[in-house]
């Protein structure tokens, strides 16, 4: 099996392997990390403000990438 990785200028990449190109069935899916806790936004006082502005705190970014967060990271370093 050969794998190809194409990187675009905006940092978006696409990976394709030869089995997929040749029509061989595959059942490998990655749905993200398995969450250890519920989304931090449910209990956050800034939930509505972040939703309107589109900003995210450290707790949300860690939860989205690792599935867990530290309580002290809620409302911290919004960007």
pTM score: 0.58
Question: Is the per-residue pLDDT at 2 higher than 60?
Answer: no
pLDDT at 34: 83
Domain annotation covers residue 78: no
Judge residue 26's burial from the number of C-beta atoms within 10 Å of its C-beta, 0-12 exposed, 13-18 middle, 19 or more buried. exposed
Band of pLDDT at residue 70, cut at 50, 70 and 90 = very high
pLDDT at 11: 58
pLDDT at 58: 94
Q: For the chain, what is the domain count?
A: 1
Task: Give me the residues paired with residue 16 across strands.
Answer: 4
Domain annotation covers residue 12: yes
Summarised one tens digit per residue, pLDDT across range 3-31 is 545 555 555 666 666 666 676 666 677 77
Domain that holds residue 22: 3-73
Domain annotation covers residue 31: yes
Domain annotation covers residue 79: no
The percent of residues in the chain predicted with pLDDT above 90, rounded, is: 41
Interval 54-76 mean pLDDT: 92
């Amino acid at each position: 099996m050969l794998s190809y990785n194409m990187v675009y200028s905006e940092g978006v990449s696409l990976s394709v392997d030869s089995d997929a190109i040749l029509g061989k069935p595959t059942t490998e899916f990655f749905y993200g990390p398995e969450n250890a806790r519920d989304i931090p936004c449910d209990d956050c006082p800034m939930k509505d403000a972040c939703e309107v502005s589109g900003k995210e705190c450290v707790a949300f970014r860690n939860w989205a990438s690792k599935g867990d967060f530290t309580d002290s990271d809620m409302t911290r370093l919004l960007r």
